[in-house]
């Protein structure tokens, strides 16, 4: 039992409130510790910066812990640390960053990273009653989480975004019974979901037969491959009562083995995403495995509007490059170089402009969906966000290359991997068509320019 818990138990409610008021003011306790620390800081200024950061996070964690203890006076207010709070998220992301080079090869997958994400509760964070519950309109906060995970490891960010995408489609289209099953898969059984829609000429066909649905064909770019327990796939359904582009969530442990072609995935970057080609021929699913109705997957604005999620992960990759560049120049003692300062300044405002795009896209999406705004407005803004962040990333990479030079692009420095991963991940479907759609929207919308996105 900690000292603050013992104090809580031994005092009256009134005394408890007075005693803990100081603990509820992070700035007060932080200043007190720093005052005591000043003599050491004066002698060791470089160590002081790191210790100050550590003390601040430790004090924040202490405050949260003291407030959420179960051994409190009955009426004391309970506070739970959000899963995406920096004091909880930062140590996890630091570990994922450290592990990233270990899986940067074809055929590898960051299993440890996803085990830690599951341990932290992040596989279930968007489910009802959890921190980023889809029903609570917290899209901007979700985008920041996706960005942070992408900054730790883009391959992890890519697969995690697919997991969130699948849970969102379940949120929109699943029956209550299906939601209960699939939510338990994510929350209790720590199962990883994904969305696999891309296919070649041998794509998926779903045929009804004797009450079951038999799959024929393959999917490409199946990120996570056999490590994904609940892939959401799409295919053309042929049935007596309905037909069209149908979603199905495959319970991998209950169907025949899905053949996997690892030779398909020989990429420039994102090697650890294990985006193989998978052949579902012969797999059979039941009615309860079908999600929604034919055509739901392509329903707007949810189909195109989801681009803001992968854009958030992309910005995380750019932010990782920015941070690595700062660290490299500090280690090389190049921070006083005027040209380096100008390049870092440009990178800084580019990254921050990306953050502003994510904040606005998240807030506006929630607002417009609540208000029932025409879907073309939501998709138009998502397309702008996606396009702007791609341009930001494409500008940040050459700036970093100029900063670190050939020496910085040698392993074990992270730049070589970060640049390969981000270059590949930026290649999302139909970027030119996306730009054209933005132009069509603004030219056919009769509202004044200042009201286009209000």
Q: What is the pLDDT of residues 52-92, one digit of tens each?
A: 444 445 544 443 444 344 333 333 334 589 999 999 999 99
Furthest CA-CA distance within the chain: 81
Identify any residues that bridge with 88 across adjacent strands, giving them in sequence order.
none
Over pLDDT 90: what percentage of the chain? 81
- Whether 408 is in a domain gets the answer yes
**What pLDDT was estimated at residue 240?**
85
- Whether 76 is in a domain gets the answer no
Q: How many whole angstroms separate alpha carbon 337 and alpha carbon 349? A: 19
pLDDT band with cut points at 50, 70 and 90 for residue 160 = very high
Same domain, 52 and 148: no
Please name the residue that has the structure tokens 């730790």.
152
Same domain, 165 and 34: no
Q: How many whole angstroms separate alpha carbon 437 and alpha carbon 419? A: 29
* C-alpha of 249 from chain center: 21
**What pLDDT was estimated at residue 66?**
42
Q: How many whole angstroms separate alpha carbon 290 and alpha carbon 235? A: 11
Same domain, 96 and 17: no
Q: In the predicted model, is pLDDT for residue 256 greater than 60?
A: yes
Provide the 10 A C-beta neighbour count for residue 155.
29
* C-alpha of 258 from chain center: 27
Q: With the C-alpha atoms ordered 116, 117, 121, 123, is the resulting torsion angle positive or negative?
A: negative
Same domain, 105 and 182: yes
Q: How many whole angstroms separate alpha carbon 57 and alpha carbon 63? A: 10
Q: How far is CA 17 from CA 70, 76, 211, in A?
A: 16, 8, 63
Tokens coding 307: 């681009």
Same domain, 204 and 312: no
Q: How many whole angstroms separate alpha carbon 410 and alpha carbon 328? A: 12
- Containing H/E element for 259? strand 259-261
Mean pLDDT of 233-247: 94
**What pLDDT was estimated at residue 209?**
87
CA atoms lying within 13 Å on the CB side of residue 332:
17
Please identify, among 191, 222, 253, the residue that sits at the C-terminal boundary of a domain: 191
Q: In the predicted model, is pLDDT for residue 291 greater than 90?
A: yes
Same domain, 282 and 266: yes
Mean pLDDT of 306-319: 98
Same domain, 447 and 306: yes
- Whether 75 is in a domain gets the answer no
Please name the residue that has the structure tokens 């970027």.
431
**What pLDDT was estimated at residue 65?**
41
- Whether 18 is in a domain gets the answer yes
Q: In the predicted model, is pLDDT for residue 17 greater than 90?
A: no
pLDDT band with cut points at 50, 70 and 90 for residue 109 = very high
Same domain, 51 and 159: no
- Containing H/E element for 26? helix 26-43
Mean pLDDT of 242-253: 97
Please name the residue that has the structure tokens 């069509």.
440
Same domain, 437 and 309: yes
- Whether 74 is in a domain gets the answer no
Q: How many whole angstroms separate alpha carbon 337 and alpha carbon 421? A: 29
Same domain, 342 and 403: yes
Among 6-10, 37-41, 332-336, top mean pLDDT goes to 332-336
What phi and psi values does residue 210 have, to the nearest 5 degrees?
55, 45
Tell me 445's DSSP state. -
- Containing H/E element for 160? helix 154-173
**What pLDDT was estimated at residue 210?**
87
Please identify, among 191, 224, 259, the residue that sits at the C-terminal boundary of a domain: 191
**What pLDDT was estimated at residue 79?**
59
- Whether 142 is in a domain gets the answer yes
Mean pLDDT of 256-283: 96
Identify any residues that bridge with 36 across adjacent strands, giving them in sequence order.
none
Over pLDDT 70: what percentage of the chain? 83
Give the total number of structural domains in the chain. 4
Residue 437 backbone zone (phi > 0: left; psi -120 to 50: alpha; other: beta): alpha
**Domain containing 113: what range?**
86-191
Same domain, 205 and 313: no
Q: How many whole angstroms separate alpha carbon 18 and alpha carbon 120? A: 33
pLDDT band with cut points at 50, 70 and 90 for residue 155 = very high
Q: How far is CA 126 from CA 45, 103, 162, 307, in A?
A: 42, 27, 13, 17
Q: In the predicted model, is pLDDT for residue 30 greater than 80?
A: no
Q: What is the CATH number of the domain that holds 373?
A: 1.20.140.10
Cis peptide before 283 (omega within 30 of 0): no
Q: In the predicted model, is pLDDT for residue 44 greater than 80?
A: no
Q: What is the CATH number of the domain that holds 266?
A: 2.40.110.10
Structure-derived torsion over alpha carbons of residues 143, 149, 155, 161, reported in degrees to the nearest 10: -30
pLDDT in tens, 373-425: 999 999 999 999 999 999 999 999 999 999 999 999 999 999 999 999 999 99
Q: Which residues contact 257 (CB under 8 A, 6 or more apart)?
A: none
Please identify, among 191, 222, 241, the residue that sits at the C-terminal boundary of a domain: 191
Q: What is the CATH number of the domain that holds 94?
A: 1.10.540.10
- Whether 80 is in a domain gets the answer no
Same domain, 372 and 446: yes
pTM of the model: 0.84
Angle between helices 86-99 and 139-152 (to 10 degrees): 30
Mean pLDDT of 164-187: 98
Q: Answer for the pair 365, 300: CB distance below 8 angstroms, yes or no.
A: no
Tell me 134's DSSP state. G
- Whether 73 is in a domain gets the answer no
């Amino acid at each position: 039992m900690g000292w603050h818990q013992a104090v809580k138990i031994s005092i009256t409610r009134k005394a408890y409130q007075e005693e803990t008021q100081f603990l509820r003011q992070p700035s007060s306790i932080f200043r007190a510790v720093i005052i005591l620390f000043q003599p050491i800081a004066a002698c060791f200024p470089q160590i002081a910066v790191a210790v100050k950061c550590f003390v601040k996070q430790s004090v924040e964690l202490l405050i949260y812990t003291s407030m959420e203890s179960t051994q409190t006076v009955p009426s004391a207010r309970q506070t739970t640390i959000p899963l995406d709070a920096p004091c909880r998220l930062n140590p996890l992301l630091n570990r994922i960053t450290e592990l990233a080079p270990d899986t940067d090869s074809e055929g590898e997958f960051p299993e440890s990273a996803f085990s830690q994400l599951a341990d932290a509760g992040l596989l279930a964070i968007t489910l009802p009653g959890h921190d980023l519950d889809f029903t609570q309109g917290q899209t901007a906060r979700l985008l920041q989480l996706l960005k942070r995970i992408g900054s730790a490891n883009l391959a992890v960010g890519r697969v995690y975004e697919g997991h969130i995408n699948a849970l969102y489609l379940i949120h929109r289209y699943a029956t209550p019974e299906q939601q209960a099953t699939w939510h338990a898969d994510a929350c209790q059984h720590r199962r990883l979901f994904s969305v696999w829609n891309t296919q070649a000429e041998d794509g998926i066909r779903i045929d009804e037969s004797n009450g079951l649905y038999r799959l024929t064909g393959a999917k490409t770019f199946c990120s996570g491959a056999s490590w994904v327990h609940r892939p959401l796939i799409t295919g053309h359904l042929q049935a007596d009562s309905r037909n069209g582009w149908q979603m199905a969530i495959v319970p991998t442990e209950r169907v025949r083995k899905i053949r996997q072609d690892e030779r398909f995935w020989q990429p420039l970057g994102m090697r650890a995403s294990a985006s193989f080609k998978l052949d579902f021929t012969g797999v059979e699913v039941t009615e309860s495995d079908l999600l929604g109705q034919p055509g739901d997957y392509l329903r707007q604005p949810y189909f195109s509007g989801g681009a803001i999620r992968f854009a958030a992960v992309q910005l995380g990759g750019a932010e990782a490059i920015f941070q690595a560049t700062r660290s490299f120049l500090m280690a090389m003692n190049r921070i006083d170089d005027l040209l380096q300062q100008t390049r870092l300044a440009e990178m800084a405002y580019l990254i921050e402009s990306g953050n502003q795009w994510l904040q606005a896209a998240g807030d506006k999406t929630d607002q417009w969906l609540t208000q029932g705004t025409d879907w073309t407005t939501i998709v138009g803004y998502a397309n702008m966000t996606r396009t702007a962040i791609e341009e930001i990333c494409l500008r940040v990479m050459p700036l970093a290359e100029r900063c670190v030079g050939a020496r910085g692009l040698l392993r074990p420095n992270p730049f070589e991997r970060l640049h390969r991963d981000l270059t590949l991940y930026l290649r999302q479907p139909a970027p030119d068509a996306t730009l054209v759609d933005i132009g069509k929207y603004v030219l056919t919308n009769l509202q004044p320019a200042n009201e286009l996105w209000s």
